[in-house]
């Protein structure tokens, strides 16, 4: 919005020309979102306490988590609001991709908010039923994925496989259902990972950093040609979106770090997972997200393995508790050590993903 208002005034004040530059607007989108999150954080925490929007903790979980009962939840509102304000201020408002990404963030956030509110009303860790949540996720995913297809055209159905020279697979008519399932699954993957102070949002920060680089080079004709990547011109403004998301997540982590003053709740975890998947679809890095978000893959995989193993062995458990971060807690590791080690792995996965830019 600032770009549209101030660029026409360049003839009167030439420094306004800086609003043409993507790097400038991206940097200040991050700063803006960070400041909004930092300033509004204490106010939101107080309001959630007054409203008694406190976290309900699983009774079958680690005993150390019982002390977290009553900690304000639904902090994902802070992330969404910070991103929304920052993005609207700093993007080229004609960027359809940015509006789709914002819609995904808000759409999945609304599902999470409904889930969180039900949990608060029930004073339980159970909100929406699995079926209800999946139906809503598939509805939002379908709308978002179809919007991406309509905006991009048939070229969106091509899947780019890293590490290989001949690395394009056209999914054709199968792309739409696969993409819908993909987005819903990623939304749940981040949701499942959000179980320790700062864990999920810290991992999202690494993922967004990686996507910021990928988005920038993909939207540059020179860089994409040099690196052998698909050139996606309309993705350029997503760099601004990514930096706004980065700033908002860093600001939220300020309050979510151990001992957490606020939890993101499903409103935060579902929206962050969903938007990561949507970003990967728009910049054609769907497979690479499996590497960037390697920890999320391991976390959701541990839950699936636990369920399958439990059924096959008629009651035995593969892990002490799933998802995997709880297994390590019950093995005797402190919460902060588990979180930092998972962050380290998240950073390594992000670096591995970025290395594929030249290894193909």
pLDDT at 58: 65
pLDDT at 2: 86
Measured in whole angstroms, the distance separating CA 34 from the mean position of its chain's CA atoms is 16
pLDDT at 126: 80
d(CA 354, CA 360): 12
Q: What is the pLDDT of residues 4-36, one digit of tens each?
A: 888 888 888 888 889 899 999 999 999 999 999
d(CA 267, CA 264): 7
CA of 333: how far to CAs of 4, 39, 64, 258, in Å?
52, 34, 12, 15
pLDDT at 360: 60
The pTM of this model reads 0.95
Closest by alpha carbon to 253, among 79, 122, 132?
Answer: 79
Mean pLDDT by runs of 10 across the 360 residues of the chain is 83 87 96 98 96 77 72 96 97 96 98 94 84 97 97 92 76 96 97 95 98 95 87 93 98 96 96 98 95 97 95 91 93 95 98 84
Dump the DSSP string for 254-322: HHHSSSPS---HHHHHHHHHHHHHHHHHHTT-HHHHHHHTHHHHHHHHHHHHHHHHHHHTTS--SSSSS
pLDDT at 341: 98
pLDDT at 76: 97
Angle formed at CA 278 by CA 114 and CA 246, multiple of 5 degrees: 85
Maximal CA-CA distance, the chain: 76
Which long-range contacts does 59-66 make (Cβ < 8 Å, 24+ apart)? 60/321, 61/321, 61/326, 62/321, 62/326, 62/329, 62/330, 64/329, 64/335
């Amino acid at each position: 919005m600032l770009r549209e208002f101030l660029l026409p005034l360049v003839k009167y004040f030439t420094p306004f020309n800086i609003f043409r530059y993507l790097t400038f607007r991206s940097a200040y989108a991050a700063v803006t979102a960070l400041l909004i999150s930092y300033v509004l954080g204490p106010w939101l925490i107080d309001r959630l306490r007054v409203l008694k929007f406190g976290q309900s903790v699983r009774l079958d979980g680690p005993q150390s988590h019982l002390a977290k009962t009553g900690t304000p939840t639904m902090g994902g509102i802070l992330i969404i609001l910070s991103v929304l304000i920052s993005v609207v201020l700093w993007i080229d408002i004609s960027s359809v991709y940015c509006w789709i990404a914002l819609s995904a963030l808000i759409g999945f956030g609304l599902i999470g908010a409904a889930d969180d509110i039900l949990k608060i009303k029930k004073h339980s860790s159970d909100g929406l039923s699995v079926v209800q949540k999946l139906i809503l996720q598939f509805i939002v995913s379908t709308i978002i994925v179809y919007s991406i297809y309509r905006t991009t055209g048939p070229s969106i159905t091509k899947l780019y496989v890293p590490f290989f020279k001949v690395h394009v697979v056209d999914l054709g008519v199968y792309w739409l259902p696969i993409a819908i399932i993909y987005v819903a699954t990623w939304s749940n993957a981040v949701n499942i990972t959000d179980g320790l102070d700062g864990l999920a949002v810290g991992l999202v920060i690494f993922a967004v950093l990686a996507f910021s680089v990928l988005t920038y080079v993909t939207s540059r004709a020179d860089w994409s040609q040099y690196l052998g990547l698909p050139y996606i011109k309309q993705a350029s403004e997503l760099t601004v979106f990514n930096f706004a998301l980065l700033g908002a997540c860093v600001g939220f982590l300020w309050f979510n770090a151990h001992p957490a003053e606020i939890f993101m709740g499903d409103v935060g975890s579902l929206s962050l997972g969903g938007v990561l998947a949507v970003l990967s679809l728009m910049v054609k890095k769907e497979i690479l997200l499996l590497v960037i978000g390697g920890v999320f893959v391991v976390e959701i995989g541990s839950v699936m393995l636990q369920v399958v193993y439990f059924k096959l062995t008629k009651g035995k458990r593969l892990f002490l508790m799933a998802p995997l971060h709880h297994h390590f807690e019950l093995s005797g590791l402190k919460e902060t050590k588990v979180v930092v080690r998972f962050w380290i792995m998240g950073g390594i996965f992000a670096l591995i993903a970025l290395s594929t830019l030249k290894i193909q």
